[in-house]
Chain A
Amino acid sequence: MFANVLDRFRALVLSLLLIAAVASPALAGPFEDAIGKFANDEFSDTDEAIGAVATSGNPLAFAIISALQDGRLMADPDSKKVYVTQPDGKIIDAATGAAVEKLPDGAAAVRLNNRLRRSVEAALGGLTLLSPDPAKRIQAAQSVFKTHDEAMLPLVDEALKKETVNAAKLAFTEARAAILLFKPDATDGEKLEAIATIKARGDQEAMALLTGLTGDQPAAIASAAANAKAAIQRSLALWSMVQNAWYGLSLGSVLLLAAIGLAITFGVMGVINMAHGEMVMIGAYVTFVVQETIRTSFPHLFDYSLLMAVPLAFIVAGLIGILIERSIIRFLYGRPLETLLATWGLSLVLQQAVRTMFGPTNREVGNPSWMSGAFELGQVTITYNRLWILCFTLAVFAILLAMLRYTALGLEMRAVTQNRRMAASMGIATSRVDALTFGLGSGIAGIAGVALSQIDNVSPNLGQSYIIDSFMVVVFGGVGNLWGTLVGAFTLGIANKFLEPVAGAVLGKIAILVLIILFIQKRPRGLFALKGRAVEA
């Protein structure tokens, strides 16, 4: 505990001195010696150097420490000289500030470990409280909220006075409340007010803060804290339901995306297509190839790589699908067992082909910047990639539905699947429609691969992990009905995510399987059974 306080005190001194250093130029100090320590490649020396540089009061201190944080501080182990690469690419000598033409050959970035990263953050923390960037100010305020370091109070008060952005103002108010709550000489009134502010914040960290409040408080404050804790607990329990529902929707969207192509090949055409997962995998590899091409030739277009991969994946997977239908599946219509075996064999062939072409290891598919990170909605963390996948899935579903409903091809598909012989008599080229339908299903699986490459491994085994889930969704939702697939996917997703916190991931999955088996016993045709003559066809 004592060491902890010392640490915090040191961090504060460092940050205050850094501010002083930035404000007032050049005081003499053992600055050059300290700089030399960065070149020793020892974590303890680097730690000392951070301290010494920060307390030196040198105007370069801030530049050096922020360069250290970003891996731009270069040290040459031979000459013990240290250089700062500025964000604009210019290089200066860290000891003198003089510009340098180029780095010596042996120079390497000064290494950090987690402990040092924390000392760097602490040293820079005080500075960012007054940063011109509101996002950085909020971040700094959050870290003060967590550490509730009493000595930061004047700085927080000052920042609060200047603050104009509402979100940052709130963050500073909360940070101030956290400090006051733990300040021994704060008045009871101040403390009660602080508890109210923290209660309004109402998240896990507020809870942790209140839990950390020691027992020897006046009765009024203790009871206020207890009430606040209970209130936060209730709201957190509610939020966790919302969170589970969101996770369920997101898992459901992944299931739907994987299954929707199968809903066409299996659901509409009745082909038990075990190679469906491999179409998903091919889509993912198309994404990889597109990204590789963009990386090597047009790096500035990287953020659009997925948009380009979607049509390409549809075409590649669709063409392969048509090829499979023409060369294998059309000879096997009406023979489900043979189709199952043939497509299963095909799936192994495709896997091994990809393994030979791209190697057995995972391939890196990057997230474009608009698909990275997360935002908070109340107490729920929503990650952008999941959100985009949900939107994307719904869009694919809507387009597919519209296609089947309003286009000529859609009409022909429905006609052929409902009554093949009559459709043929009406002049529809049924074998052409079969090939196109299979191609459509495969193409959509390819699109799914583009999205799944964002959250899963791109490896030859990618498809295998989705094939069982896809069949589960289609069978559960009702064969031959796209809406059934939609409802089935989201039901399974949500059920899974509400079971998982209770039963654990392994048991949760088993429970879902058992539930589906029981359900199929009761309703063999799934949630949305087809009725009428189509059933007999």
Chain B
Amino acid sequence: MLTQLTHDISKPFSRRRWLAATAGLVLGLAGVTGVKAQETIKVGVLHSLSGTMAISETTLKDTVLFLIDEQNKKGGVLGKKLEAVVVDPASNWPLFAEKARELITKNKVSVVFGCWTSVSRKSVLPVFKELNSILFYPVQYEGEESERNVFYTGAAPNQQAIPAVDYLMKDEKVKRWVLAGTDYVYPRTTNKILEAYLKSKGVKQEDIMINYTPFGHSDWQTIVADIKKFGSTGKKTAVVSTINGDANVPFYKELGNQGIKATDIPVVAFSVGEEELAGIDTKPLLGHLAAWNYFQSIKDPANEKFIKAWQAYTKNPKRVTNDPMEAHVIGFDMWVKAVEKVKSVDADKVIDALPGIEAKNLTGGTSKMLPNHHITKPVFIGEIKANGQFDVVWKTPGLVAGDAWSKELDGSKDLIGDWVGKKCGNYNTKTNKCGGQGS
């Protein structure tokens, strides 16, 4: 048809011919899109591509596109190709809700992979509940939530923070603790859980220092000096850092410049991964720690294959991988398996099918979706190496099941999330009552 058209153009052609050709082209295009709409399953990608969070979220958008590409190479799902619908919520929390609504109602996506910050997740929750769709959330978060429409593939506090503190207590014999974080919900809740946990282990109030800083804090002189002072009492001190994203670079630079070495006061971070370290000169940071469920440096055939394919896809042989990316890999795999199990993309059917689905993670284990919509994950502690990668120095013996509700906090220790038996996200095991749909 196209050759016909070019052929026509080469001649001085009449109005009627031209009209016919255009009509044909329009019809042809309509036909193509019509067929396309029937044949694809749409997958929504809700990650910020501009604004503050673009720094972290752009990679996750690329990850989902990469996974869709790989799945389509294998023939798609249920015999249909997958089609990504990418929107940009621009690090603007209300816009997340608008874009989620657009994805579900206008683009008719079957599932959404997205969000990074807890506040963006909270802002889209009502939309997913109202329109009954599925969200896969790939980032470590503060817990205290279990929603029917959300699947949490990142770490809950008991899959990251608590094992990290255990490691410091046992292996590094830490007695004094600085809990430093950015001032928002994730660090505040995590630190509340950690404080309760440390006290239950016999750490006294005067041996815990809690410090919050604003987003993007760049002048760390006072705080680093305070940490140095707090750590010079002779008792072994460590910093547990929930400092978010951009503020980390100046924080680590100041640590390095003031000469705080990991052998004196180690810093264990929950938000610093390979991507963040790519922007820092890591030589002064040698030996500082991070706790994650995945590191790029972990030697496993699945991981090596993934890194190779990812670097080929992004055409960048130095492109790093990180923990939230792995969470999307697992989540995507679980969704595909669930859809294939029920042979449908209907939200209700997939939501019911997901708990119990297993998927290989990239570190040699098999993660399982639990009734509380969290997954089982291994926990690794890595030390920063001079090349910006991590060297795993400790790992949990098996996989840790994610707790939706923390056992350390008074308000939530009796709650469980169970969407299989109890059909409830916050079931109270003491009173045997469901506290309502979701939190």
Q: Which residues of A contact B (CB under 8 A)?
A: 43, 71, 111-115, 117-118, 121, 146, 204-205, 208-209, 211-212, 243-244, 247, 250-251, 254, 348, 351-352, 355, 359-364, 366-367, 372-374, 381, 383-386, 455-461, 464-465, 497, 500-501, 504-506, 509
A465-B218 CB under 8 A given contacts A362-B278, A364-B278, A374-B258: yes
Query: Is B439 part of the binding interface, using a Cβ–Cβ cutoff of 8 Å?
Result: no
CB proximity of B179 to chain A, nearest CB, Å: 13
Of chain A, the residue at the smallest CB distance from B287 is A114
Q: 16 other contacts beyond A117-B262, A247-B222, with CB at 8 A cut-off?
A: A112-B287, A113-B391, A114-B266, A118-B263, A204-B229, A208-B234, A250-B219, A352-B50, A360-B54, A361-B278, A362-B249, A364-B280, A374-B259, A456-B218, A461-B216, A506-B212
CB proximity of A214 to chain B, nearest CB, Å: 13
CB proximity of A311 to chain B, nearest CB, Å: 24
Please report which residues of chain B, range 325-363, place their CB below 8 angstroms from some CB of chain A when the two chains form the complex.
none
Query: Is B221 part of the binding interface, using a Cβ–Cβ cutoff of 8 Å?
Result: yes
20 pairs, A vs B, C-beta closer than 8 Å = A113-B287, A117-B263, A118-B263, A205-B232, A208-B232, A247-B221, A348-B50, A360-B54, A362-B276, A364-B280, A374-B259, A457-B246, A458-B279, A459-B55, A461-B246, A464-B52, A505-B214, A505-B222, A505-B223, A506-B213
Q: Is the interface of B mostly helix, strand, loop or mixed?
A: mixed
Query: Is B395 part of the binding interface, using a Cβ–Cβ cutoff of 8 Å?
Result: no
Which residues from A are CB-within-8-Å of B229?
A: 204
Q: Is the interface of A mostly helix, strand, loop or mixed?
A: helix
CB proximity of B26 to chain A, nearest CB, Å: 33
* Assembled-state Cα–Cα distance A359/B54 (Å): 10
* Assembled-state Cα–Cα distance A355/B56 (Å): 12
Instruction: Decide: B55 and A455 in contact? CB cutoff 8 A.
Output: no
- We find that the number of chain B residues with CB closer than 8 angstroms to chain A is 53
Q: Which residues of B contact A (CB under 8 A)?
A: 49-52, 54-55, 58-59, 171-172, 183, 211-214, 216-219, 221-223, 225-226, 228-229, 232-234, 246, 249-250, 253-254, 256-259, 262-263, 266, 275-276, 278-281, 284, 287, 383, 386, 391, 393
Of chain B, the residue at the smallest CB distance from A381 is B258
Which residues from A are CB-within-8-Å of B212?
A: 504-506
* Assembled-state Cα–Cα distance A118/B171 (Å): 12
Of chain A, the residue at the smallest CB distance from B91 is A461
* Assembled-state Cα–Cα distance A424/B51 (Å): 43
A505-B213 CB under 8 A given contacts A121-B263, A355-B50: yes
* Assembled-state Cα–Cα distance A360/B256 (Å): 25
Instruction: Decide: A114 and B172 in contact? CB cutoff 8 A.
Output: yes
* Assembled-state Cα–Cα distance A351/B254 (Å): 26
Which residues from A are CB-within-8-Å of B250?
A: 455-457
- With most chain A CB atoms within 10 A of its CB, the pick from B213, B218, B287 is B218
* Assembled-state Cα–Cα distance A367/B280 (Å): 10
Which residues from B are CB-within-8-Å of A361?
A: 55, 58-59, 275, 278-279
* Assembled-state Cα–Cα distance A500/B221 (Å): 11
Which residues from A are CB-within-8-Å of B54?
A: 355, 360, 460
Instruction: Decide: B256 and A43 in contact? CB cutoff 8 A.
Output: no
A456-B254 CB under 8 A given contacts A111-B391, A367-B281, A501-B222: no
